[in-house]
Structure 1
Amino acid sequence: MIYFLIYLFAEVIVTVEIASRIGGIATFLEIVGSAFLGIFILLNFRHTLAENLHALQTRRIDVQGFANRNLMGLAGAFLLIVPGFLSDLAGIALQLSVIGSFLVNRFGRKYESPTPTQKDEYVIDAEIIDDTPSLR
């Protein structure tokens, strides 16, 4: 509860400070524009989810990367819908971190499946079949 009150206090202070500098109409347009952007991101989330699922299936990302991309994208979209400058900055930062993770995963180190252990070359794999009627 205390964290929510701290966030609410910071949100009000930042919003009042910025709104006093840019004016009421610009503040209104920013709040409405960021809400539309958040809604647009949520409406197109299925495409992002499909792209992330394809990246997971082709092993370009691991399960942790898949979860991070999707959760950060959703959280950023919801924060863009919430009115206020501080939440909009956090929402944009989360969206940029998703874009940053795309770039890092695209040009960075790829996820590789674990290599199978080396088999001993002196061991022969065999299957023993017993022909007794009691096993049938």
Structure 2
Amino acid sequence: MIYFLIYLFLEVMVTTEIASVIGGLATFLEIIGSAFLGIFILMNFRHTLAENVYALRTRQIDMESFSQRNLMGLFGAILLIIPGFLSDMIGILMQFSLLSSLIINRFSRKYHTPTQPKDDHVIDAEIIEHTPTLR
């Protein structure tokens, strides 16, 4: 709750400061333009998702990168739709992977998979059957 109040305070302060400099019409056009950009990103998200699924399937990225790219892209698009200069700046930065990885690393818990102790007394082998169906 405290983070939301801090965000809301900063949003009002930044928006009023920038709006007083650029004027009411430019502020209105920026809000409408960023909302259309956010809607455009959401409408084309299926293409981005398909590219990320292909990259995951070909092992170019891992599962953590896959979820970071998709979730931060969606969250950034939603922030672009919300009116305000601060949310627009954060939304645009979230479309890039550097900021999204910083946010994910800051607020996510670190889960480590337990590693199995290596057993030196096990010999790996492959059994090949010589049957006529395999030839």
TM-score in terms of structure 2 length:
0.73
Does residue 76 (structure 1) correspond to residue 76 (structure 2)? The answer is yes
In 1, the alpha carbon distance for the partners of 2:97 and 2:80 equals 14
- Residue type of the alignment partner of 1:21: V
Pairing 1:101-112 to 2, within 5 Å after superposition: none
State the identity %: 69
4+ aligned runs moved over 4 Å, structure 1: none
Instruction: Report the counterpart of residue 125 of structure 1 in structure 2.
Output: 127
Q: Distance in 1 between matches of 2:18 and 2:4?
A: 21
Larger Rg: 1
- The amino acid of 1:125's aligned partner reads I
For residue 97 of structure 1, report the CA deviation from its aligned partner: 2.4
* Alpha-carbon distance in 1 for matches of 2:32, 2:39: 11
Distance 2:126 2:58 in 1: 34
1:74-123: CA deviations, max 9, x gaps? 0110000000000000000001227x98xxxxxxxxxxxxxxxxx959x6
2:19 is the alignment partner of 1:12:
no
Q: Deviations over 1:32-51 (max 9, x none)?
A: 00000000000000000000
Matched, 1:60 2:60: yes
1:134 is matched with: none
- Which 5+ residue runs of structure 2 have no aligned equivalent? 102-121, 130-135
TM-score by length of 1: 0.73
Q: Name the SS for the 1:89 alignment partner.
A: helix
**CA distances 1:43-69 after superposition (whole Å, capped 9, x unpaired):** 000000000000111111111111011
Gaps spanning 5+ residues in structure 1: where? 102-118, 128-136
Paired with 2:19 and 2:57, the residues of 1 have a C-alpha distance of 46
SS in 2 for 1:60: coil
Q: Distance in 2 between matches of 1:22 and 1:71?
A: 32
Q: Which residue of 1 aligns with 2:36?
A: 36
